[in-house]
């Protein structure tokens, strides 16, 4: 993906929003059709059938005909893609598209290639039924056959050209690095570098709390609520931009410096899912505390540190050079003598081996173990076979 910020005029802004609304409407209709599947009825219409229905609908309804056919057609194609991903098990069930939240559409084919360079910094692209929209050329525009226009919650418009960038070549030095991801330190390298993903500053956290409180007091649908929401979105966008910037720079740096990058295999999706409710055996209908709020705090830590993003981007930039290591006991095992005991861990940050006396930052010690690919169980040499049906467990309780 190669993304640029676009700056539409007020009239173009309205036209772009119209495209987004059409794409969203078509997506939601397709989702509605798909969700009506039951065992006794036949299969729900697929992409080809839905496209045919779209053509019929365009003939019948003037407002649909007024929109761009490419935008509507591509919404169906996107939905088809989402269904495929869902059935392949790589993605979750497609969800409803919501105004203000999922604003975007896709343009493919010859219309997607009409790009004109204006001057040193600006270019323009001809968006069907919208006109020439200016965008800031912050890098070379790739030769792409399709692009996607999106609007984020902070109201910024972007255009992303669909190209797969070339992977970063390995340095060829044979160097291996282990990356341990944590809450206190975002990433510790086996080279004893500690990397911190920028999160919220103290001042921003206070402003966040303040805005959230203010939002709770606003009347639904009021102008004030809209303004507070916009301010909140801006704050979130700033934090997300910072995190993304860190992920991109860190992943590029690691891919350039090391031949093999070993990371711990963590299933963030299952770790960040909300804990199960615990029914109270004594009083039917009521529940025991399940530390949900505590876990929510941890989830926030995991997500703000951009764990998943970093590994995903590493795999994009250095395909075949990222190895996943079972993280069991990497934090308790001494990276010098291999002694594994929970007592080795003096506290959250300090590691001291009770046998050889090796002392190190706990996360760096874990990173060295990960770099060595050392992931043995305390009880047995081979990893424990776990039934795929079993609930995923945290590493230390395996």
Question: Which residues of the chain form contacts with Zn ion (CB under 5 A)?
Answer: 334, 336-337, 339, 353, 355-356, 358
Strand spans (E) along 236-390: 260-264, 278-279, 287-288, 322-325, 350-352, 359-361
Closest CA to 172 of 263, 261, 258, 262: 258
We find the least distance from the C-beta atom of residue 352 to Zn ion, in angstroms, to be: 9
We find the least distance from the C-beta atom of residue 175 to Zn ion, in angstroms, to be: 24
With contact defined as beta carbons under 8 Å apart, do 179 and 185 qualify? no
Taking the C-alpha atoms of residue 90 and residue 56, their distance in angstroms, rounded to an integer, is 33
Taking the C-alpha atoms of residue 266 and residue 307, their distance in angstroms, rounded to an integer, is 9
We find the least distance from the C-beta atom of residue 339 to Zn ion, in angstroms, to be: 5
Nearer to Zn ion by C-beta: 111 or 338? 338
With contact defined as beta carbons under 8 Å apart, do 142 and 60 qualify? no
Nearer to Zn ion by C-beta: 355 or 384? 355
Nearer to Zn ion by C-beta: 295 or 339? 339
Taking the C-alpha atoms of residue 118 and residue 139, their distance in angstroms, rounded to an integer, is 14
* Tokens (6 digits) for 6: 């676009």
Closest CA to 6 of 77, 78, 104, 102: 104
Give DSSP secondary structure letters for 115-175: EEE-SSSEEEEEETTTEEEEEE--SPPP--SEEEEEE-TTS-EEEEE---PPPPPP-SS--
CA-based end-to-end distance of the chain: 38
We find the least distance from the C-beta atom of residue 359 to Zn ion, in angstroms, to be: 10
Nearer to Zn ion by C-beta: 68 or 335? 335
Name the 3-class secondary structure at 87. Answer: helix
What is the per-residue burial (b if ≥16 Cβ within 10 Å, else e) of 243-268?
beebbeebbeebbeebebbbbbebee
Nearer to Zn ion by C-beta: 45 or 338? 338
Nearer to Zn ion by C-beta: 73 or 333? 333
We find the least distance from the C-beta atom of residue 287 to Zn ion, in angstroms, to be: 44
We find the least distance from the C-beta atom of residue 397 to Zn ion, in angstroms, to be: 23
Nearer to Zn ion by C-beta: 101 or 337? 337
We find the least distance from the C-beta atom of residue 358 to Zn ion, in angstroms, to be: 4
With contact defined as beta carbons under 8 Å apart, do 141 and 123 qualify? yes
Nearer to Zn ion by C-beta: 261 or 334? 334
We find the least distance from the C-beta atom of residue 353 to Zn ion, in angstroms, to be: 3
Nearer to Zn ion by C-beta: 76 or 353? 353
């Amino acid at each position: 993906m190669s993304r640029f910020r676009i700056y539409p005029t007020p009239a173009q802004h309205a036209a772009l929003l119209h495209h987004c609304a059409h794409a969203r409407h078509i997506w939601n209709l397709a989702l509605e059709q798909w969700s009506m599947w039951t065992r006794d009825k036949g299969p729900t219409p697929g992409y080809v059938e839905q496209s045919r229905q779209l053509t019929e609908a365009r003939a019948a309804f003037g407002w649909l005909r007024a929109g761009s056919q490419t935008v509507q057609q591509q919404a169906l194609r996107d939905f088809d893609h989402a269904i495929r991903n869902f059935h392949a098990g790589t993605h979750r069930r497609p969800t409803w598209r919501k105004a203000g939240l999922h604003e975007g559409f896709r343009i493919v084919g010859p219309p997607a290639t009409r790009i004109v360079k204006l001057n040193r910094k600006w270019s323009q692209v001809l968006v069907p039924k919208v006109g020439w929209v200016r965008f800031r050329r912050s890098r070379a525009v790739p030769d792409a056959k399709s692009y996607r226009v999106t609007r984020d919650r902070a109201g910024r418009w972007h255009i992303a050209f669909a190209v797969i960038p070339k992977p970063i070549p390995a340095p060829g030095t044979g160097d291996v690095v282990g990356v341990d991801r944590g809450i206190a330190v975002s990433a510790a390298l086996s080279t004893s570098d500690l990397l911190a993903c920028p999160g919220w500053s103290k001042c921003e956290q206070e402003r966040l709390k303040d805005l959230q409180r203010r939002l709770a007091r606003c009347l639904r649908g009021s102008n004030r609520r809209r303004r507070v929401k916009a301010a909140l979105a801006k704050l979130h966008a700033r934090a997300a931009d910072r995190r993304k910037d860190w992920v991109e720079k860190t992943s590029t740096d690691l891919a350039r410096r090391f031949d093999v990058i070993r990371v711990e295999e963590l299933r963030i999706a299952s770790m960040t899912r909300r804990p199960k409710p615990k029914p109270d055996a004594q009083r039917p209908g009521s529940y025991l505390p399940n530390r949900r709020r505590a876990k929510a705090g941890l989830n926030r830590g995991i997500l703000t540190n951009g764990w998943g993003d970093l590994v995903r981007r590493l795999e994009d930039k250095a395909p075949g050079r990222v190895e996943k290591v079972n993280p069991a006991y990497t934090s308790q095992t001494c990276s010098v003598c291999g002694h594994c005991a929970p007592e080795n861990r003096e506290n959250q940050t300090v590691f001291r081996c009770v046998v050889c006396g090796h002392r190190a930052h706990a996360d760096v010690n874990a990173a060295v173990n990960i770099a060595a690919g050392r992931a043995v169980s305390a009880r047995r040499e081979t990893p424990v076979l776990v039934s795929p049906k079993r609930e995923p467990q945290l590493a230390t309780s395996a």
